A and B are shown apart, each in its own frame.
Chain A
Amino acid sequence: MVRAVAAVEMLATCALSRADSVAAFAHDGALSSWEVFGQQLVTGLSNGMIIALIAIGYTMVYGIIELINFAHGDLCMLGAFFALTVVGALGVDQWGGAGGTAGLVMVLVGTAAFCGSLNWSINWLAYRPLRKASKLSLLVSAIGASFILVNLGLFWGGLPMDVFAGGTSSAAPKAFPALVSSDPAAQIGDVIYSRTDFLVLCVTLPLMVALTYLVRYTKLGKAMRAVAQNPTAAALMGIDVERVIGATFFIGGALGGFATVVYSLYNQTVSFQMGYRMGMDAFIAAVLGGIGNLPGAVLGGLLIGLIRSMSDGYIEARWTNTVVFGILILILVFRPSGLLGAKLREKV
């Protein structure tokens, strides 16, 4: 009995001390000015655009073969390592001026091509043989692919190059050189819109517009929509379904490649474990917007970026992941079709 009382007392003290510290934090860290809010807004929107670009890769693949492509985040991680290797091998960070801009474009396009081809190959090797298998076998295979990519990242980080700190500690996070300075591009009060924020916008927005055009107005886009609706009927209409699926993986991967370079420039560090976090954020964004729905992925990405930065600012950074995963669970349980998605038919 005495023990039980002591236990209750202890739990109560713990709970109270938590409540105190939260109150104290809210008092110090509360956004008393709109400027802090504005800064969180800028960070949230920039991160959100990057998340959205990765989320498109999830949503396209899900739309077409109903696979949660678990390896997508880790594909982006390898893309970051590829970009870092190119930058280190060619010394792109030393080019400066117009050369620097050209170098940046080269790194962006190169990484996109790398990620696109890698995604295409993963589809060919790991998913294509399972077309007739159940959705769950496909998901398990994707988890396996994700772990293989993580391990490749671990190996890659051990390359004895300067950018990888000589490769002595392959698991440690690596610094990504600042190819774009983080000087303010615009400033209102204390809210800084930096050049990296501007870069994020310059890369992500045109890509989203181009993708929308591709899906809506080109022959390939029409084929993709057809396969997403009904692969068998599409095949009967003379569409090469495997080719369309391959193209979807390539495009999704390439967008992830662009996104990962921007992500690395924006956050200035890469590690072999970053793929899981990036991938989960993007996946949650895709689900939030309604998986399979392109505008939904963008909306979801922006929302997740904002939620993350506001939670960092208003709640506490260490609770941000809990908040984001909580949102994921709530959506999957109560509104699996997401914000913009069509009501899913249950296929029993």
Chain B
Amino acid sequence: MRAPRKMPWKMALALIALAMVPVVEPSLPQRLAISEPMTDVFVYAILGMALNVITGFTGLLNLGVAAFAAIGAYVFAISTCEIYPFQLGFWPALALTMAVGALAGFALGAPTLRVRGDYLAIVTLGFGEIVKDVLVNLDSITKGTQGINPLPPPTVFGAELGSRGQYWLLLAFVVVVFAGARSLERSRVGRAWLSIREDELASRAMGIRPDHAKMLAFATCASLAALAGALTASRLSSSGEPSNYDFQVSVLALCIVIVGGIGSVRGVLLGAIVMVGMNSIVLVKLTEMIGNTDSAGASRLAETHGMERVWVFITTWAQNVLLSPTNWKFLLFGLALVLMMMFRPQGILPPRAEHEAPPEDEGTGPAPAKGAAP
């Protein structure tokens, strides 16, 4: 056990640069405005760090992390929205959200302790689907697909935050969760998680109770994911509709963890910047730059023949579909997962080994399921 490392200057520099974005932005052209989508990156970074606790540290693949974010968003919305009788303030509501999130984590964790590996992944996926459907169907409480709105803006010491203030608030949350995750990793329970990931049997022999540790991992993950959901709801001033928290979101969170480096908190931050940056900034800006699609092609197609017809067919198709970069989103997620698994399963920024592990066989996958291979 060594003392916590000092904050590296690179990271401090990056933090200052990020914090400066809303200050510098007004003097830049509209097209370069990124503070709005950057808040997306922040929220997904928190979601990614939440998933990293369970999938990265503990080695349990969770495909339903979006469900916890949904629970967080709805608990936060119901406890703050003016159409409900609770109307808590921002901070009490956030505390309540995280507590409910942790309970939801226990609720999913407790019955699934005996389910392992790929089956656990599918159980969490099913949990995500059920939560989403229940939120849609209980429309007398959740307003169904409309979502719950408006939500009051966040307050700090009684002062309401504007968009710039919310940006800094989210950034601050990312920093706090990052620091928390780093110190959790080095704590007693964090080391228990890592040892379960490496070898459950051996860690049991060392006196660790895997069931307790796994439950804690579930609760921590769920609580942080609920925080991410609540922050999204607060930023959008609406819980959003339940389908905003579907399987896609869980997979995006998984992409963040896997691209960044499974089990590496720094990696997850990088993964969030790369994946969500691509998804919410690069693709969206490209689509804005390219402009509208042309729907005249289909009618031109009927009048042409031969090679010209082939040409018109292809150009119409390209204009309708291919030139709209947001249409490439799923390909981006899919390629990220497949290529990382194939060429760099440990991620871009793998966790620094605390003590050198013995060299592994070539082609062994990422850390979580060592020894699970048949």
Binding site for B on A (CB under 8 A): 3, 6-7, 10-11, 14, 17-18, 66, 68, 126, 129-130, 132-141, 143-152, 154-155, 157-160, 166-168, 170, 276, 280, 283, 287, 318-319, 321-322, 325-326, 328-329, 332-333, 336, 346-348
Contacts and interface: CB of A to CB of B under 8 A. Distances in A.
Contacts of B116: 346
B111 interface: yes
Contacts of B293: 168
Given A141-B337, A336-B115, 13 more contacts: A18-B138, A18-B140, A126-B342, A133-B364, A140-B258, A147-B337, A148-B335, A150-B330, A150-B334, A168-B298, A333-B115, A336-B119, A348-B201
9 contacts: A10-B85, A14-B138, A130-B365, A134-B364, A136-B365, A148-B331, A329-B127, A332-B122, A348-B200
Nearest to B298: A166
Q: Is the interface of A mostly helix, strand, loop or mixed?
A: helix
Nearest to A146: B334
B368 A154 contact: no
A54 to B, nearest CB: 16
- Chain B interface size band reads 35 or more
A147 B331 contact: yes
B317 A167 contact: yes
B236 to A, nearest CB: 23
Interface string B109-121: 0011011111101
A78 to B, nearest CB: 13
B170 to A, nearest CB: 27
Given A132-B364, A333-B123, A139 B118 contact: yes
Contacts of A145: 334, 338
Among A126, A134, A148, the most chain B Cβ lie within 10 Å of the Cβ of A134
A18 B334 CA distance: 40
A264 B107 CA distance: 39
Contacts of B247: 276
Contacts of B12: none
Contacts of A7: 84-86
Contacts of A329: 123, 126-127, 130
Interface string B322-333: 100001111101
Interface of B: 61, 63, 84-87, 111-112, 114-119, 121-123, 126-127, 129-130, 133-134, 136-138, 140-141, 200-201, 247, 251, 254, 258, 293, 295, 297-298, 301, 313, 316-317, 320-322, 327-331, 333-339, 341-342, 345, 361-366, 368-374
Contacts of B374: 66, 135, 347
Contact of B320 (A141, A158, A280, A347): A158
A134 B335 CA distance: 19
Q: Which of B134, B137, B345, B373 has the largest number of chain A CB atoms within 10 A?
A: B373
A346 B201 CA distance: 12
Contacts, number: 200
A3 B85 CA distance: 6
Nearest to A272: B330
A22 to B, nearest CB: 11
Contacts of A318: 133, 136-137
A126 to B, nearest CB: 5
Contact of A168 (B123, B200, B320, B342): B320
Given A318-B133, A325-B129, A136 B338 contact: no
A139 B320 contact: no
Contacts of B335: 144, 148
Contacts of B117: 135-136
Contacts of B112: 333
Given A148-B334, A318-B137, A332-B123, A170 B200 contact: no
B327 A148 contact: no
Given A318-B133, A325-B130, A129 B342 contact: yes
A77 to B, nearest CB: 12
Nearest to B293: A168
Given A7-B85, A158-B320, A318-B136, A137 B115 contact: no
Given A10-B84, A135-B117, A137-B366, A168 B330 contact: no
B84 A143 contact: no
A294 B334 CA distance: 30
A147 B251 contact: yes
